[in-house]
Amino acid sequence: MTYISFSNNKKFDFTAIGRLCIDLNANEINRPMEETMTFTKYVGGSPANIAIGMSRLGRKTAFIGKIADDQMGRFIADYLKRGGIDASNVVTDHTGAVTGLAFTEIKSPSDCSILMYRDNVADLMLEAGEVSEQLIADSKMLLISGTALAKSPSREAVFQALHYAKKHRTVIAFDLDYRPYTWASKEETAVYYNLAAEKCDIILGTREEFDMMEAFEQNPDHSDHFTASKWFDYSAKIVIIKHGKEGSIAYTADGTTHRAKSFPAKVIKTFGAGDSYAAGFLYGIMEGWTLEKSMEFGSAAACIVISSHSCSDAMPTSSQVHQYIEDCNNGKITIS
């Protein structure tokens, strides 16, 4: 059954709005950051990673965001261009804001953390008036993420993008991407997350992220059915709740649940899994696949990324994901 339909006469398949930053991934793995001396630079930010993933999978992709007027900002702009992502609505800040940095620590495959520098960052300076209505009108899908809601004027820019998407019948996906250090309080977070989610067709997040959104609700058992059913009273067609190693469950407005098998991976680090899963899943939805097949594709894409040192650079092509699934099914990849 097809739960989402797309307009076929639009120029872009996928447009994302939000965080563009730099990931500095530790080269010396299996040790704490205090002992790490060298890092490798990559483009980062959850919506950026998802957009890169969609482009790598062959979808015509664009980005809406703001970069700093510095060397890192120019690195990001050049990376998007080389990756075939339309950056005509990536504007440059001239207020002195800087590029956000994320230093990663890889103590072990299961013990990873991120040290973020998010003060006065350019991506949160995007203004509502800088969002291109025409670009969103020309896009089949718009992706928003929670981090861009954390501060003004970026918050208003996202809501302006949501308005344009609803006006032009662009499908909206919401990757919750909750980062507590960018918010003033849990109550503030819940209010703005809920206001945005009401307008979205697809909502993806972890159980913990949905718990955060329910600060004013009574769901003591952390029931997925309770969580998902709320959003079907608004715009949602699909709600995906992720449970880590236990896998993900997709809920749909017709009351059904959908599960898909997961795949083994030779894990190097855990971050990047959610972004690659989202790209793979949304790609499958745009291909018209079943939810189960789309979820499996997303799971396999995530396995490829967590088996790699980077996030953005490791986003796989469609053929790489299909090959990974085939190798797993044939028993060639068995380490979990």
Q: What is the pLDDT of residues 218-229, one digit of tens each?
A: 898 999 999 999
At position 38, the amino acid (one-letter code) is: T
pLDDT tens per residue, range 26-59: 999 889 999 999 999 999 999 999 999 999 999 9
CATH T-level topology, domain 12-329: UDP-N-acetylmuramoyl-L-alanine:D-glutamate ligase (3.40.1190)
The DSSP letter of residue 271 is T
Task: State how beta strands 111-117 and 101-108 pair.
Answer: antiparallel
Nearest partner of 14 among 136, 124, 126, judged by Cα: 136
pLDDT in the model for residue 111: 87
**Alpha-carbon span 280 to 52, nearest angstrom:** 11
Nearest CA among 189, 151, 152, 194 for reference residue 174 = 194
- Residue indicated by tokens 């697809």: 202
- Largest Cα span, the chain: 55
Mean pLDDT, residues 237-255: 92
Decide if 173 contacts 51 (C-beta within 8 A): no
Positive or negative CA dihedral for 194, 196, 198, 201?
A: negative
Instruction: Identify the H or E element spanning 83.
Output: none
- The residues pairing with 92 across neighbouring beta strands, listed in sequence order, are 67
Q: Which two tokens stand for residue 10?
A: 């639009």
Q: Which of 13-17, 25-29, 64-68 has the lowest mean pLDDT?
A: 25-29
Helix (H, G, I), strand (E, B) or coil at 105: strand
Report CA Rg, the chain.
19
Q: Give 250-279 pLDDT, tens digit per residue.
A: 999 999 999 988 899 999 998 899 999 999
State yes or no: pLDDT of 151 exceeds 60.
yes
Instruction: Please enumerate in sequence order all residues whose Cβ is within 8 A of that of 185, keeping only pairs 6 or more positions apart, or say none.
Output: none
Q: Residue 9: pLDDT above 70?
A: yes
pTM: 0.97
Closest CA to 285 of 202, 214, 228, 224: 202
Q: How far apart (Å, rounded) are the C-alpha atoms in residues 236 and 231?
A: 5
- Residue spans per domain, the chain: 12-329
**Residue 155 tokens, joined:** 């918050």
Tokens at 151, concatenated: 């501060």
Per-residue pLDDT tens for 188-197? 999 999 999 9
Distance CA 166, CA 139 (A): 12
- CA trace torsion 4, 217, 210, 185 (10° rounding): 130
pLDDT in tens, 154-196: 999 999 999 999 999 999 999 999 999 889 999 999 999 999 9
- Distance from CA of residue 259 to its chain's centroid? 20
Give residue 60's pLDDT: 98
pLDDT digits (tens, 9 = 90+) for 110-135: 888 899 999 999 999 999 999 999 99
